[in-house]
Structures are given as C-alpha cells and as structure tokens.
Amino acid sequence: MKIVSISSAAIPEVKLVRFARFPDNRGYFTEPFRASDLAARPELAGLAGRAIVQVNESFSRKGVVRGLHFQWNPFMGKLVRTLSGRMLDIVLDIRRGSPTLGRALLFEITAAPDDPETDWIWVPPGFAHGNAFFTDTQIEYLCTGEYSPGHEAGISPCAPDLDWSAADPRLRGEWEGLRTADPVISAKDTAGLTLSAWLDDPRSRQFVYGRC
C-alpha cells in the first residue's frame, strides 16, 4: 500500500489517508489496504489494534442521503472510500465531554478510473457517519466491529441542532442545496433523532470522550 499522505481533519481524530494507484496503458493497479502499512503510521494511532472484521459495500443513486449512523457493543470504526462516483461524507462528533461535541464535518471523496490517487476517510468510534450523493456512486467501508442489531441508533443529518461551523463552506453549500431539494432518504433515517434528543437518551452515555 503506497500511502501518499495522512492528514487530520478539523476534528483531529478523523483522518484522510491518500494512497496511490499505478497506471499504465492497460488501466491501473492499486493496493488499497495493507494492515501493516497503516499500523506503522503514528498518525493512525486511533486505528492501531483495531482489526478489520467486516467489509460493507453500497451503491447509491444521485440525490440519496444516508445516515447518520453509529453503533456500540461493539463500537464500530470505519475506513470509507469511494469506488466510483462522488461521495460527500458526513461525520458528526457524538462523544460526551468532547470539545467538538455536536460538530459536523463534510468531505468530498471522488473516484474515477484515471485518478492517480484516491482516499480513505477514517471515522473512529464515537462519531456518527453518513453520506450524500450528487451522482450514482459506489462506496466501500472496512469496519472494526461487526454489525450488532439492537445496539445502533441514528441522528438525522437534517437535524437543526448540528454545528456545521467547521465544515468546508463550498461543501456545506452543496449539502444545503441537496438537503432542501427533497433528497431520497429512507424512512429509518428520516426518523433519526436530533442531537439534543440523542444526548437526552441514556444510551448516549456509551460514547464518552477518551473512552471510545
């Protein structure tokens, strides 16, 4: 795995990992994941010791919004990438006691056959996660916990009490345009909680800053 760069987001526990592709006249080859290469990087200490135990893939049509999802017992961290298309990734800090509790970030992750590099985003436990799509898009995420029915919840990405102040202004403008244009959202995600309703829920005490 040829890691080109690792950068911290406005919430430093969230990381962007850029890795290289090797193109030639036939197309390209890439090694998108090697556990030992990631484990050797001190910037990814939050991923150290967490085994990848489940791989998920999804395809979303233009105008779809998913999330914001999270799980406990076990906690689930995610390495997320775009396989084809364009994803607007949404990450929300839900850790009690965190200085960035309630802050939401946006990341643009694209993938096209001619791209010489592409990205993972590392979403650690303690963050709610979702996506929005402006074109038909296929994504993959590697999970550090197996899906556990009965130990999951969701916050609506359209909840009025999320703090978008640290989000990229251009991406926030795109998100607001999609949010107000009747996006395609599942009934489950439409019924997602507000942040304040989640924090009033006793289950929210599963997520504490420094313990997830």
Which positions are catalytic? 69, 141
CA-to-CA distance for 165 and 67, rounded, in angstroms? 20
Give φ, ψ of 196 to 5 degrees: -65, -40
What DSSP designation does 165 have? Answer: T
Here the tokens at position 177 are 């345009």
Residue 187: count other Cβ atoms within 10 Å of its Cβ. Answer: 6
Q: Is 130 exposed, middle or buried (0-12, 13-18, 19+ CB in 10 A)?
A: buried
Q: Is 205 exposed, middle or buried (0-12, 13-18, 19+ CB in 10 A)?
A: exposed
CA-to-CA distance for 125 and 72, rounded, in angstroms? 8
Here the tokens at position 103 are 């802050």
**211 Cα distance to chain centroid:** 19
What DSSP designation does 192 have? Answer: P
SS3 150: coil
